[in-house]
A and B are shown apart, each in its own frame.
Chain A
């Protein structure tokens, strides 16, 4: 029970991953995104080593279909995994094993893959795709968030006892090798996608301040001064 989107921004080459699920702290199990390599996300019954193995292969230039074949060859339980891969060129490959709990499926688009399991139905996948495509000019992190919101609003996850809320969610975007541009998480919440929007919007207020003080700390104001300047701006 999870729905996710991985994507490459065609304008900037930035790579991104958005995930939400009933499970706790899903963002803590997303090692598979690296600028210059690609994105791999394994879900359903997760083989934790998959995503990092895939990144090593993607970094060496193997195409997503070849990476998927390698993951399959290394895993007797491949049928229980749901895996999506995108490389630095935007090429994709996806797999929803027959052992994934229904409803499960994926949609490969141009430079993105939407995928999920234990969903209400096909309409959730359609909602993720529609959300991602709604505003192609937006920053990748907001396109990923719109995709998660689209999936949630189309019914999200449904298990044996009915609807399952999103308890955790995360968005990562990478445009350089050594750290993420965007790295926001909600690990345990009643309405994690809504909370993720709150966190992302708050982070965006600070994004430039945090980046600039790292690059030129000699010119940086303190965070207390920065917060005071925000309050002043709000009054003006």
Chain B
């Protein structure tokens, strides 16, 4: 049981993933983005090699559908997997194997894939897509978080009678660097999507500072001085 949004910003080409699940440390499966290549996820009895394979194929320029076809051809157990791919041009491909548990499926459009399994129903996948599309002008990481929050608020994981909380969640976005711009995680928490929003909100205050002090160490102030300046602002 997991729900995920893959998204590409049409204006900037930035690529990102937001993921939440009942399992612990789901961020293990969110090393999912590469600048100028694409974004992918493999979940539901995850094949842990798939993300790295998919990103290599995307970096070589294969389109989303071709990458998905390769992953399936390379995996005898693909009918137990759920896979999503967006390539650098915004084309999408998604797949839910017949043996994936619970309500499982996807809602896709240009530049996004909403995918989940063990969900309370189709309406959760639709809510995730709706959250992603709600503020199309906002930063991609904000849109991904909104998608997770809409999915959570629509009931998230479980079945007709029982709800399962999100114990872990993660957010990763890449743009032009070889390393991600944003890489945030909650590995074990009672309300991981709420906690991810908290981590993101605090991280955003430091984001520019962390980047600047690395690029210009000669003029950098200490983190204590930076925090004092935040309070004074």
Which residues in A have some Cβ–Cβ distance to B below 8 Å?
1, 22-25, 27-29, 31, 44-49, 51-52, 77, 80-81, 99, 101, 118, 159-161, 164, 177-180, 183-188, 198-199, 202-203, 206, 210-211, 213-214, 216-218, 220, 222-224
Contact = CB atoms under 8 A, between A and B. Distances in A.
29 contacts: A24-B202, A27-B185, A28-B182, A28-B183, A28-B185, A44-B217, A46-B214, A48-B179, A49-B179, A52-B178, A77-B217, A77-B218, A80-B218, A81-B217, A99-B217, A179-B28, A187-B203, A188-B198, A188-B203, A199-B24, A199-B25, A199-B187, A203-B24, A214-B48, A216-B77, A217-B45, A220-B80, A222-B101, A223-B1
B232 interface: no
Contacts of B217: 44-45, 77, 80-81, 99
Nearest to A43: B214
Contacts of B48: 178-179, 211, 214
Given A51-B179, A179-B49, A224-B164, 20 more contacts: A25-B183, A25-B203, A28-B183, A28-B185, A29-B210, A31-B178, A77-B217, A99-B217, A159-B222, A187-B203, A188-B198, A199-B187, A199-B188, A214-B46, A216-B77, A217-B99, A218-B99, A220-B45, A222-B101, A223-B23
Contacts of B188: 198-199, 202-203
B53 interface: yes
Contact of B220 (A1, A45, A51, A198): A45
B51 interface: yes
B99 to A, nearest CB: 7
